[in-house]
Amino acid sequence: MSESRPGPVVLITGAAGGLGRGLVAAFAEAGWRVAAGYHVRAPEAAGERVRPVALDVTRPGDPERAVGAALEWWGRLDALIHNAGVTADALLAQQTEADWDRVVAVNLTGAMRCARAAAGALGAAGGGHIVNIGSYAGRAGGPGQAAYAAAKAGLIGLTAALAAELAGLNVRVNVVLPGVLPTPMTARLSAAAQARLVAANRLGRMNAVEEVARFVVFLCGLQNVSGQVFQLDSRPARWG
């Protein structure tokens, strides 16, 4: 990108996590300017194109402040990647309502808040992209994942609704299911649980953070794709 065309701008939530760091690096490498939203710790520096911004997606007003920071720095916003997510897996009989509320607040309500905060800026830029990072659990569920599966299934529905609602602003909205990735989230699973997830894939292996990140960057370069679900691993899907 030349100085006269410094590159589009993306806001990424959950930028300090395993996939988040990969997304930040991939967008920066592709010439984007990146507002890297973080909750607990700032992401590692990834070049002059990246600026960290504190962002708690569960706190009303925080998404608007993060969008405002991107506009102050670069004058526009071209994409929002809602990557922030948490799990609190437990069988429903043992699931606390506090954990249920937290999982839904981050994975689903947080996506709504960020989309609402970003929509106007995306439209003002002539259109843009919202990419929600979903999960295969939102399609297939699984024991002990009632909260997470419900939130991620809701994210698919939210994506479909926003794709219709924001089409008039030329804002494309899609959801990406990244598959099982070697990140700190999966590292907390037992070896047996990890093996079961790998075995469920037709190809018998985990996905790669770098591959998912490259796909999201590619998706944000498309002009005519919206309201779609992209599953990036080799597990069978129960609906299209």
Number of residues in the chain: 240
* Pair type for strands 128-133 and 79-82: parallel
Cβ count within 10 A of residue 93: 5
Q: Exposed, middle or buried: residue 200 (CB in 10 Å: 0-12, 13-18, 19+)?
A: middle
Query: CA end-to-end span of the chain, whole Å?
Result: 37
- Alpha carbons 65 and 44: distance in angstroms, whole number: 21
136 is catalytic: no
Options 14, 83, 148, 151, the catalytic residue: 148
> Rounded to whole angstroms, what are the CA distances from 136 to 105, 121, 170, 227?
19, 30, 28, 17
- Yes or no: say if 86 and 114 are a contact pair by the CB < 8 Å rule: no
Q: Is the dihedral of CA 183, 186, 190, 191 positive or negative?
A: negative
- Alpha carbons 18 and 1: distance in angstroms, whole number: 27
Q: Name the residues annotated as catalytic.
A: 148
